Amino acid sequence: MAEAIRLPSLQLESGRTMTDVSVAFSSWGELNAQGDNAIVVCHALTGSSAADDWWGPLIGPGRTLDTNRFFVVCLNVLGSPYGSASPVSINPETGGPYGPAFPAITIRDTVRAHRRALETLGARRALCALGGSMGGMQALEWAFEDDFVDGVAPIAAGGRHSAWCIGFSEAQRQAIYADAGWNGGRYAEQPRQGLAAARMIAMLTYRSPGSLAARFGRNLQETGDDLFAVESYLRYQGAKLADRFDANCYVHLTRQMDTHDVARGRGDYADVLRGIDRKTLVIGVDTDVLYPLAEQEELASLVPGARLEVIRSPAGHDAFLIEFAQLDRILRSWIADELRRPEPSRARGVRSEKLMGV
């Protein structure tokens, strides 16, 4: 379970100010006396701060994200139902859940809230921020947070959300809106069918055509109900998300991803990327159809000194959650070669391996 920090207020890009803003986090290892050995792990769309659940092989003593050396911390994004301020949390102005009235939040808003939470924990500087998909968007935004991070490692993400990705986001939202129980987001019971359908659409972008062909082909289920195996798989994935997530949160988070554009309000896109002065590792997946490798190649070509690495996998976009051996090799090498070595950890009262509930 995650712990949480409460920010008294948060000024959003929209100009709106939120009050009593919860930021949930999980952490492993200890923050050193200098407060400069943090590694910030950023999670994807429906993920949570429990990074050891989805990146477990990379986190721990002696592993790539070595908890004997680093204070590894993952903060839950704003808008997620897993502990940070979101549509399911209480609006202090009304005393009831925000629901569809939860304010529009950008990737930048989330990163700025996370920085304030880290500073509250005593972190003065971080070695790097890294993550995949929506986590990669956050990692890129960390490059613009003054000199708080030494390096950034976006994985399976681009410098801005493409029309292709925005279109898929909208298709997923429309699937939710089409559920008779949606009621403009003011539902008493979860609009399960719509949320499940949205997840089914998303799953087709998370895998590659080749991976689905190899796993399912045109095989029918053996249950005798005339379902293709791939249909059964998608229905299972949809139902599983509907059991654990919230429809308003899903709608909000897809819109938050659509705000991703490092150049918004900063200038010409290429010039903005050329202005990044952090150690940068860009990781792409050769079979990613959602954020094609060309997007990571573009990032690496524009960010000065960026290192480009490619995960070779039939899995598609989700390879960053599957190909741990390749991720281990790539990240371990970059951390050793490019990032400064922090002083050994000295307890500052910030330590967690399994955290107490919020």
**Catalytic site includes residue 317:** yes
Pick the catalytic residue from 26, 86, 133, 211. 133
Q: How far apart are CA 74 and CA 133, in angstroms?
A: 15
Residue given tokens 């921020």 in the structure block: 129
Q: How far apart are CA 265 and CA 108, in angstroms?
A: 12
Residue 71 phi, psi dihedral angles, 5° rounding: -95, 100
Pick the catalytic residue from 66, 258, 261, 288. 288
Pick the catalytic residue from 43, 114, 161, 317. 317
CA dihedral for 79, 83, 88, 89, sign (positive or negative)? negative
**Catalytic site includes residue 288:** yes
Q: How far is CA 272 from CA 141, 267, 269, in A?
A: 12, 6, 5
Token pair belonging to 157: 């993400």
So which residues are the catalytic ones?
133, 288, 317
